[in-house]
Amino acid sequence: MVEQQTHPMRGERIYHQPVMVQEVLELLLTDPDGLYIDGTIGGGGHAAAILERLRDGKLIGFDGDPDAIAACRGAFREELARGSRSRIELVLGSYLLACSREDIYRRLAGQVQGILLDLGVSSHQLDEPSRGFSYRYDAPLDLRFGGTSSDQPPASALLEQLSERELADLFYRYGEERASRRIARAIVEVRRSSPIRSTGQLRAIVERCVHPRQRIDALSRVFQALRIAVNRELEQLEEFLRCMPSLLRPGGRIVVISYHSLEDRIVKRTFRTLAREVQPPLLRILTPKPLRPQQEEIRRNPRSRSAKLRAGERIVV
Ligand X SMILES: C[S@@+](CC[C@H](N)C(=O)[O-])C[C@H]1O[C@@H](n2cnc3c(N)ncnc32)[C@H](O)[C@@H]1O
| Residue 62 contacts ligand X per CB under 6 A | yes
Return d(Cα 187, Cα 185) in angstroms, integer: 5
Q: Which range, of 37-45, 165-173, 183-191, 243-251, touches ligand X by CB under 6 A?
A: 37-45
| Residue 68 contacts ligand X per CB under 6 A | yes
Q: Within positions 130 to 169, which residues make up the interface with ligand X, using CB under 6 A?
A: 145
- Least distance (Å) from ligand X to the CB of residue 198? 22
The Cα-based distances of 1 to 15, 127, 211 in angstroms read: 19, 13, 17
Return d(Cα 255, Cα 32) in angstroms, integer: 17
Binding map of ligand X across residues 219-258, x = CB under 6 A, - = no contact: -----------------x----------------------
Identify which of residues 62 and 172 has a Cβ nearer to ligand X in the complex. 62
Quote the radius of gyration of the chain (alpha carbons, Å): 20
Return d(Cα 159, Cα 68) in angstroms, integer: 27
| Residue 61 contacts ligand X per CB under 6 A | no
The binder of ligand X chosen from 65, 127, 177, 263 (CB under 6 A): 65
Burial per residue of 260-276, b for 16 or more beta-carbon CB atoms within 10 angstroms, e otherwise:
bebbbebbbebbeebbe
Q: Which range, of 114-122, 202-210, 244-252, 308-316, touches ligand X by CB under 6 A?
A: 114-122
φ, ψ for residue 88 (rounded to 5)? -130, 145
- Least distance (Å) from ligand X to the CB of residue 12? 16
The binder of ligand X chosen from 5, 23, 35, 40 (CB under 6 A): 40
